[in-house]
Every structure is written in C-alpha cells, then in structure tokens.
A and B are shown apart, each in its own frame.
Chain A
Amino acid sequence: MIFSSLIFTYAFLPICLILYMLVKPLKGKNAVLIILSLFFYAWGEPVRVGLLILSAAVNYFIGIWIGDAKSEKGQKAAISVGLVFNIGMIAVIKYSGFLMTNVNSLFHSSLPVPDIAPLAGISFYTFQIISYIVDCYWGKVEPQRNFFKLLLYISLFPQLIAGPIVRYQTIADEIEDRTTTLQDYSEGFSRFIVGLAKKVVLADQLHKIVDSFLGSSGVSSLTIAGSWYGVIVYSLYIYFDFSGYSDMAIGIGRIFGFHFNENFNHPYLCASIQEFWQRWHISLGTFFRDYLTPITFFGYRNKYLSLALVWLCTGIWHGAAWNYILWGVYYGLFILFEELLGKKRIKKIPIVIRHIYSKLVIIIGFGIFYFDDTKGGIKNLGLFLRNLTPANPNGALGIAEKISFCNNLFLIIAAVVCTFPLISWFKKLSERSLAAKSVISVSGTAVCAALLILSSILMVDATTQAFLYWHF
C-alpha cells in the first residue's frame, strides 16, 4: 500500500485516525498503531511481517543482553551478535544474488544464485534497529524492556518503508508519553498534503518525461540536449518523489504525536557537494556519520579510510547493482576533492561557479543513479554519459525534447520554483504583522485544500508510480 494511493489516503488513514482517537489510554493507542502498522506492512506481501517481528524479537533480547551484561566483554559479545544478525540478514536478503552473480562471472563458475524477492523497507528498518542496539551499547539510551514498545518503534508505519531513518532516542520518550496538540494536527495534516502534492502533482508527472527520454531503449539515440533534459527532469523527479514521501511520513507521524527529524532541507540550494549531503537524505548521512566514522582501522582512526567506507556503504545501501556502488564512489571522490581543497579556498570561488559546479555534479550523479540493472545497467550508463558530451553522434538538439519541453513548460517551472524554501519565506513574511499572518495562514489553508482535491483526483489515474525509495 503506497501513501500516494486512494486506498491508503481515503480508507486506511481515516480508519487509523478514527481508531486512534477513539482509544483513550496510551497503551491502547500504541496497540492500535502496532496492529495497523503490521497490517499496513502485510498489505500485498503478508509473509514479510514474520521477518519484521523476528528481527524485532532478536534485537529486543540483544538490547536486554547489552543492558544486563556486567562486563564490557559481555556487552561486546552482545553487540557483535546483534551486528552480525542485522547486517547478515540484509546481506542475505538484499545482496546475496548480486554477490553470487558477480562471483560466477568473475570465476566462470556456476554457483547457485539465490532468488530472494526484495523486501520493501528492509534497509530502513534494519538501520533503525542497528542505531538502537549501538546506542544501547554506547549507553546513549536505556534498553527497552517492553517488547511491544520496541516493536512499535520498529514497525511504526509512517516511516517503516522509506524513512526517514528515525533514531530510537528521537521518539523513545514519545512512545512512553505523547499528546497530539492542535498545532501538531494542523501542521501535520498540512505537511501530509504538501508531501502528497509533491508526489502526485509534480513527481508522477515528471516521471512520464523521464520515462520517455531515459526509460526507453532509445538512450543510444538521444541528442545532447535530450540527454541533459532527461537527466535534469530526473533530478527534479527524484527530489519530489523522495522528499514528498518524507513530508508525508513526518506529517502522519505528527498527527499521531511523533516528531521525526527532517530528512531534506532544500538540497538543490547547495553550493558544494558536502553541503548537498547535509541537505539530502539527512537521516542516512547522519547515520553513517555517527555510526561508521567512529570505526577504527588497525587501532586508530583514519579520516580518508572512513570517508571511503562511508561512501562505499552509501552506494551499496541504495541497491545491489554496480551503478549504485559507482554512484557512492563518485560522490566520495568529490567529497575528498572538497576536503583537500579546504573550506576557505572553496569560499573564495565565486558563488555562481560553485552553484554551477555542484548542480553539474549532482545532475550527472543522478544519471549514474538512474541506470540500474533494470534500465540497461553499466552499458546504457556508458551510452548516456557519452551522449551528454559533444562525442554524441546524434547531434545537439532534436525535435523530441523541444516538443516535450514546451508541452511541460509550466510543470518544469513549477518544479524548479518548488525546490526553493517557499514555505519558510512565507512563514518569515507572516511574522511581520498580525494581519500578514492571517492573510498568509488563510491563503495557506486554501492552497492546501486545493492541493488535496487536485492530488485526490490525480490519484484516480492508475499510472501513479510507487515511491522510488521503496525499492531500497
């Protein structure tokens, strides 16, 4: 069940809200959320719920083992078992097929390749669990002694499938005690609608353009302008798709009284690649920063080895395909370049040049990201990268991109405008006077109402796309 579907928005969500409001004690509210979260996760593939509960149970005992261990040795044993279990689980389910395929092609062997269906959200909830047990080990949080509360943290449906990767310490207190205020409900609902509109009104329409340029088998015959046009639109699409989901998750969480951390902060406003990653998929970036960089190599820390590890893992986390690994390494190299250059020197470069540089790197990066194995893999990626350059044999400009650009002009302008922090600007503007606040607030309500109606109608179209990050 995807968030941007009618069945979720107008059947599942209203039932959740009604049941949640009817039940008064917090224990009951938590029980409602657990049952509905498991029901949500079981939709379309009930078997996967078993794995989620198994994972929660194992990590519940590991948390208690860490908490009750009297010596550091015991704690180390517990955290080791926990990490092996969690990383092993994700490695087997997500990467074993990829690994065996590459082993077979490298050594010309014919070892059996496991055919395990991908599990939606496994990368997200496994990382949440890892953050929980590591925080228990580091003493940042107390191990949860109530299994159902831990299960609620892991299975909470707004962030279960595509994040943000919520740390246990972020919502630990809210699992124990929370209330939904009028402000929570108002802002949560508005946030949900904004996210829905980002996905249905912008991302899904942009996806049709991406599909017609990069998605067909005609990558080899794209012109230079067509290649750039396709990948720029893809960069817009992926932002609205993923940030739309995060907005919806944060909004629904807020309605139920949970305050998740932000996952995006207008990433295309960045002037460097380091800044981009401080604004894009923040929960993943901070996860790697907090849990991978402390790892020591042969007894001491090495900045550059940590950097290599973080970016290799970032690539691998996104999927079991070479293009994702290449994507991670690609960003790692640019981060390294900026590290070596130093912040002072970077700041001396004119801001326009910095913006052009960062956008170029990001857009080409998303080109690498796009061509996974289902879209022709490395072969099509090579053709695509060639077509971005004057080496393209198909010419500079074709009729297809001219028509597409004109026919989608308003959509593209709207998408570009929406990458700016419009809501923050209006909020600042509303601080000037009481009258301004009233006008902007009422206008905001009217816009949200219009977006809700428009998104609801557009969801009738069966071609609504699933969220891209569900595959991860």
Chain B
Amino acid sequence: MSDKKKSSKNVEEKPRDPKAEKREKALRIVNVAVLTTIFAGIALFMTFGKRPNVSYTENRNLEKPPEFTWEGYWSGYVTDQFSKYYNDTVPERAAWKLFISNFRAHLGVKYGNGVTIVGEVPVIDNHSKPDDTSKPANSVPEVVIKKPEDGGASSNGDASSNAVSSSSNPKVPAVVIPKPSGTSDTTETTEPTESEPAPDNTENTNPNVPAVVIPSRPTV
C-alpha cells in the first residue's frame, strides 16, 4: 500500500496543533490502559479463578471438561464440550446469574398495579355443588394471577414469554409459575431443588376450579 493511502487510513483527522495531538495521544493511552486492564483482569479471573463443579441453586452437576481423543476431536465433541464446560463453570457463577436475573428484571416497568388477570374470568357460583358439570371437565383454567413483585424473574424482562410458552394460545396462559430470583431462563423448572423445594400449590385436582398460582418465595 502506498504511504499516502496508509496514512489516510491511520490518520482520519487533519493534523492539528502539537498540543491537541499530545492530548489526543494521552487520551488514547488512557483508553487503552483502562480497557486492557479490565480485559486482562477478567481474562485472568476466568483462567485462574476457582471453577465450581456443582450448582446448588440449580441442583445439578456442572459440565465436566472433555477427555481428549482424536476421534472426539474430529467429531467436534471435544471442542463443543470444552466450550460448554468453560461457560458453565465460570468462577462465582451463582453471583453472576443473580446479577443477570436482576438485570433482566429492570429492563422495563411493571405492568399495571402488579396483579394481572389474564383471559375471561369465570363466575364461580358459591351455591353450586362440587360436582357441577356446567363447565367441561377438560377446560383450561383461565385465571392467572401474577404478582411481579415476588421474585426477580417473575417480573422479569418478558412476562409474556412465560405466558405464551405455557399454552398454545398466547392470550390464555394456563399456568404461570414465577421463577425464583437468581436463576436464569434456562434453569426454570417445576422440579424441586435441594435448596428450594417447589411449592405444591399449583396442582389443581378439580378442573372446574381455576388454578390460582401462588408465586414461589424468592431465594434469599
């Protein structure tokens, strides 16, 4: 490349007085120094920080590093598994996961007054008998009560995603189970965990009575 072309790429602005150039250079040094220090700090933390092998909040063993074999390498298993291991066993992962959950909970404002009733609300006749068959036995419960202030993830970035995923009809979510704070979307589960047994209040034995979902208690 000619010098003229090269210099036009490297120096985008017109040459100014020496004082301005000196200041500009100093500012660039500050920029490089600050960003490199943070970058190197995180890289060192990732490399030498103690990697956990169990997640107590998710109640599972974390990914393990792969054993190297040429066969595994050529099939792509070794590198894929190493990526999973590296990402899954980040030092202090529980703290970062909690931060992510809180971050997502603050991507917007809470809708309404904190309680959202979704779908048509059936009128419950107090005088009707328990075996009232006026409503089909296989009808989908239509009432969902959400209390976003309970738990980080229940008021999380996308409440509708919970609603949509739990029913084929996005307008009528069947059951919404707010996630305990400190867990990511991928860890959402209705299975009990060691540290936090899932409440058994979502079970609805009588199909005529709409399911009232009581949010799980937030993790301390």
Contact = CB atoms under 8 A, between A and B. Distances in A.
A407 B23 contact: no
B59 interface: no
B42 A10 contact: yes
A222 B170 contact: yes
B129 interface: no
B1 A394 contact: no
Interface in B1-51: 1-2, 5-6, 9-11, 19-20, 23-25, 27-32, 34-36, 38-40, 42-43, 46-47
B159 A411 contact: no
Contact of B83 (A1, A205, A402): A1
Contact of A404 (B11, B160, B168, B171): B160
Given A183-B10, A444-B31, A452 B39 contact: yes
B170 A259 contact: no
Contacts of A43: 79, 83
Nearest to A208: B158
B108 A407 contact: yes
Interface of A: 1, 5-7, 10-11, 14, 42-47, 172-174, 176-177, 181-186, 189-190, 193, 205, 208-209, 211-213, 216-218, 221-223, 226, 259, 394, 398-412, 434, 437-438, 441-442, 444-445, 448-449, 452-454, 456-463
B33 to A, nearest CB: 9
A400 B171 contact: yes
B105 to A, nearest CB: 9
Interface of B: 1-2, 5-6, 9-11, 19-20, 23-25, 27-32, 34-36, 38-40, 42-43, 46-47, 73-74, 76, 79-80, 82-83, 86-88, 90, 93, 96-97, 99-100, 103-104, 106-111, 116, 118, 155-161, 163-165, 168-171, 184-186
A216 B165 contact: yes
A208 B153 CA distance: 14
A407 B111 CA distance: 7
Contacts of A1: 79, 83
A116 to B, nearest CB: 16
A459 B96 CA distance: 10
B116 A208 contact: no
Task: Give the one of A1, A441, A459 with max B CB within 10 A.
Answer: A441
Nearest to A173: B1
B35 A221 contact: no
A460 B93 contact: yes
Contacts of A205: 104, 107, 157
Contact of B155 (A47, A407, A444): A407
28 contacts: A10-B46, A11-B47, A43-B79, A44-B83, A172-B1, A173-B2, A182-B28, A189-B36, A190-B31, A193-B35, A208-B157, A209-B157, A209-B158, A212-B160, A216-B164, A403-B163, A404-B161, A406-B111, A407-B159, A408-B157, A412-B108, A438-B27, A442-B27, A449-B38, A453-B42, A456-B42, A461-B97, A462-B87
B20 A434 contact: yes
A410 B171 contact: no
Contacts of A461: 97, 100, 184-186
Given A259-B9, A410-B106, A460-B90, A403 B160 contact: yes
B164 A7 contact: no
B109 A409 contact: yes
B83 A7 contact: yes
B76 A44 contact: yes
Contacts of B161: 208-209, 211-212, 404
A218 B171 CA distance: 9
Task: Give the one of B5, B103, B157, B163 with max A CB within 10 A.
Answer: B157
Contact of A400 (B2, B19, B109, B164): B164
Nearest to B93: A460
Contacts of A453: 38, 42
A401 B107 CA distance: 15
A463 B73 contact: no
Contact of A182 (B32, B74, B88): B32
B127 to A, nearest CB: 31
Nearest to B29: A182
Contacts of B111: 402-403, 406-407
Given A221-B171, A223-B171, A408-B107, 20 more contacts: A1-B79, A14-B39, A47-B74, A174-B1, A181-B10, A182-B29, A182-B32, A183-B11, A205-B104, A209-B161, A211-B161, A213-B160, A218-B169, A403-B159, A407-B156, A407-B157, A434-B20, A438-B27, A445-B35, A457-B103
Nearest to B119: A399
Contacts of B36: 189
B66 to A, nearest CB: 12
A221 B186 contact: no
Contacts of A211: 161
Contacts of A213: 160, 164, 170
A458 to B, nearest CB: 6
Nearest to A184: B10
Given A212-B160, A437-B24, A442-B30, A406 B86 contact: no
Contacts of A218: 164, 168-170
Contacts of A407: 107-111, 155-160
Given A7-B83, A456-B42, A461-B97, A437 B23 contact: yes
B35 A190 contact: yes
A438 B23 CA distance: 8
A44 B164 contact: no
Nearest to A176: B1
A185 B35 CA distance: 11
A230 to B, nearest CB: 10
A406 B113 CA distance: 12
Given A400-B170, A410-B106, A461-B100, A46 B74 contact: yes
B164 A460 contact: no
A252 B206 CA distance: 60
Contacts of B109: 406-407, 409-410
Contact of B165 (A212, A399, A462): A212
A454 B104 CA distance: 12
B87 to A, nearest CB: 6
